[in-house]
Structure 1
């Protein structure tokens, strides 16, 4: 946690209201996101109880599993979920734009530019909390290996037709959510916590109602009072007025309402199957319908507050202007969506349960690079974030007091002007350390050469001044200009490329063989 974040939390405690951590929104928000509020039975993470899902704020679709232990009812739930999610995902596939991508020429082995089709937009899933992200990943893992009756007529429990495809997409969204800065799948609590600091712990921030209470408390209440009421207030029946975003349920709800309702449903279903005449069957069918409606009402009563809270969170986030470089990260998400869509259309198999050594290392390297890039871009987009980096000694701002023209010592001298800045910051600078500033959206680098007699920082500009003997206009700062320099790179690059899987040494898994072609054993986590 940065010093700025710590100070903001302390101020939130003192003022009773959340404090801003950013002046811009650092994540892209789609014009038509798909909000997904799942609910599971307590103690059984893999047993869905219901969900609210949809793109329209006033018209969510309620999905319910009256008996979570019933495999057929769970399959029906997943089929209904696929009916809602997959058309939304597919709706972004048709509109494309031309884009260039670097690929390796198989003949020459060199990197060449290839023109491809890139989706003009991409789907975006929003869940209430971090636990919702984990549930999406769990759903994807449990569905993508299921076999349909068309794929395998002899399978014991065939999945509905589009369930495996939904599993592949949810797995992709879940994996993409682990990439820092990605916006394909996001949690409302994570978005709010990134832009506002509350006076409670990060664990308490996972309660969406309490988090919103700190950011936008009711008139006359402090954030702490409103958050406490959101966490603990109950109605006359002992039920939470603001159920947590889940997906697990509250024990009081399970014991007092849900458990008895499911028992009534089971009794009615058992009686219906044992009915000996049509009159009795009609009576028990009415009882079963009533019991099912009761469970649906209970599920909606637990998910609707979280549904409304997610949309309220999106409203708050829309009050912030989008950061300049958030669009670049969204373009990477569009590439990710387009790539997975191409793999699905090409008939490639689902994602493996366990990545091979090279794939795992590439993922880790890509995420580390994305994290460094995200931290740099957020600081460049947001002066409040940059202030935190300045306090940490990773950046400094100052006024130019002197510019002395100098040239490199080479056959063709190039301009290397010396710029002196007066700053009150204390950056971590050492001999020949490189620093960077943003010049027309591109990083210009300089080298630290030392301090002058008055303590000013002396920098030697190294690039972005043109190819002539004299620097291009605007490439050298004028005297009196105030500039922010960073010790960190603006566009961090990844490490060296890794070998192809077939060239992996045996010490790191060895070349794929027959063992790699055999599927992994099925575990309890793979089947809901």
Structure 2
């Protein structure tokens, strides 16, 4: 927990109401999200019990498995889920736009979908459940003695792709509501308690005339607000065991169907409160203005979605159970790049997050008190035009001299810290500017190029436009690192999971 988050938590504890951690929303919330509230059978790693799914908040679709310990029933559940999710994914592919990759002669025109699917689940455990469901289904055979419907492995491929994307900061294709809300609000409870959706929302949006702390205590009643899944409430497990036992021991089909309908009703009653809370959370998030970089990150999500859909159209293989060494290294590099870029973008969009960087000594804020538009430095053949500005700060800038920094207001212009000195009870920082002159090499500069005297600016060492890590293509892997890895070919053994 950061310092500002800790302070916000203390304020929430004292006031009884959640405190905002951000000024804007840093994640994309789609106009038509696919909401999925799952339940699994207790004591099983991946035995889907029920799910409430759909894009219409008023008409959710209930999926149930009356005998979840039977593998055939699990795959029938996956088939029914595929009948709902796959058409939604395919609908997102209608309509595309061109974009270009590379520069100059190497520039290549490609297309990306205008939309991408966004899946919303209640919590991180829901994401883990979908990851296991993807592992369970993506490697299944569509022919042979234990064949499944062709939509089942296709569903598994998409679930695996979506759950893998959650490990990359900034991706919005699959999101957990508790993580979303906790990133934008601080409550007076612990982070583990924030994983409980009813109490988290009670802190953020309590009933009129009631404090969030009091509402959160009432929300802990599992009879009124069942757990958000995928684990079931232990008290409900007794009801579930009785109904499933009666279903298995029914003497005829008519009795079995009657018990089955009763089981469905009980499962719907367990899921419906969480379904309503999910849409309540969506409304709260939509009420926040989106950060400036949110659309850019969602565009990248649309690009990756389009690329993966095209890969599947070409009969793409499912993801292997384990990455090979080269793939794991490339994946780790992409995750590190995504984390650094996401953090910088959020700081550029949000002064509250930038304040965290100032506390960490990675940014500073000051007022422009002087500027020299004609300043030059020696060059190899002729003097180089390097204008300077002077910022006055109240706090000593902890960014070292010689470090290159950037200002969110002028992201195309970098600055180098030349000198920091004490002055009149504060400090003055000289910055040498580079770039952002519209390719001019000598004054006068275009209007708006330089900050005005009296303007307050923030400079930081973080740069969202930093180039990603450069690694060789897989086919160019040197022999010192094992050479190019072999292409993956799925086998029958891959479909067997030790936790089944």
Could you tell me which of 102, 124, 129 is aligned with 1:135? 129
Evaluate the alpha carbon distance shift between residue 307 and residue 485 of structure 1 in structure 2; reply closer, same or farther with a 3 A threshold.
same
Q: Deviations over 1:134-184 (max 9, x none)?
A: 111111111111111xxx2xx222112311111111111011111101000
Aligned counterpart in structure 2 of residue 482 of structure 1, from 446, 451, 456 = 456
**Is there any run of 5+ residues in structure 2 with no aligned partner, and where?**
none
Shift of 1:288: 0.8
Kept after mapping to 1: 8 A contact 2:127/2:163: yes
Matches within 5 A, 1:47-62: 47-62=47-62
8 Å CA contact 1:439–1:475 kept in 2: the answer is no
Structure 1 residue aligned with 2:242: 260
Aligned to 1:369: 337
Counterparts of residues 83-162 of structure 1 (less than 5 Å): 83-102=83-102, 112-148=106-142, 152=143, 155-162=144-151
Aligned counterpart, 2:37: 37
Shift of 1:312: 0.4
Question: 2:106 aligns to what SS in structure 1?
Answer: strand
In the alignment, structure 1 segments of 5+ residues that lack a partner are 104-109, 235-239, 272-283
Structure 2 counterpart of 1:406, from 340, 352, 375: 375
Offset of residue 434 of structure 1 = 1.1
Q: Separation in 2 of the partners of 1:258 and 1:426? A: 63
Q: C-alpha offsets along residues 287-321 of structure 1, whole Å, 9 cap, x if unaligned? A: 11111011101111111111111100001101101
TM-score for both structures, normalised by structure 2: 0.94
User: What CA distance in whole angstroms lies between the structure 1 residues aligned with 2:498 and 2:90?
Assistant: 25
Q: 1:106 — aligned with what? A: none
Q: C-alpha displacement at 1:220, in angstroms?
A: 3.2
The structural deviation recorded for 1:463 is: 1.9
Aligned residues: 493
1:194-209 to structure 2, matched below 5 A, reads 194-209=183-198
The CA deviation at 1:452 is: 3.9
Tell me if the contact between 1:38 and 1:132 (Cα under 8 Å) persists in the aligned partners.
yes
Q: 1:453: Cα distance to partner?
A: 5.1
Q: 1:19-418 alignment to 2 at 5 Å?
A: 19-102=19-102, 112-148=106-142, 152=143, 155-231=144-220, 233=221, 240-255=223-238, 257-268=239-250, 271=251, 284-404=252-372, 405-410=374-379, 411-418=381-388
Change (3 A) 1:125 1:526: farther
Q: What's the counterpart of residue 468 of structure 1?
A: 441
Q: 2:408 aligns with which of 432, 435, 438?
A: 438
Give how far 1:494 is off: 2.2
* 1:405-463 superposed Cα distances (whole Å, 9 cap, x missing partner): 311212343321221111123432223111111345x3311111112451211111122
Distance 2:309 2:292 in 1: 27
1:504 aligned residue (454, 470, 477): 477
2-structure distance, mates of 1:416, 1:291: 80
Q: 2:489 and 2:262 mapped to 1: Cα distance?
A: 48
> Structure 1 pair 285/521, CA: closer, same or farther in 2 (3 Å)?
closer
TM-score by structure 1 length? 0.89
Distance 1:320 1:389 in 2: 23
* Runs of 4+, deviation exceeding 4 Å: none
Distance 1:482 1:33, change over 3 A: same
| Aligned residues of 1:413 and 1:469 also touching (Cα < 8 A) | no
Equivalent position to 1:422, from 392, 400, 415 = 392
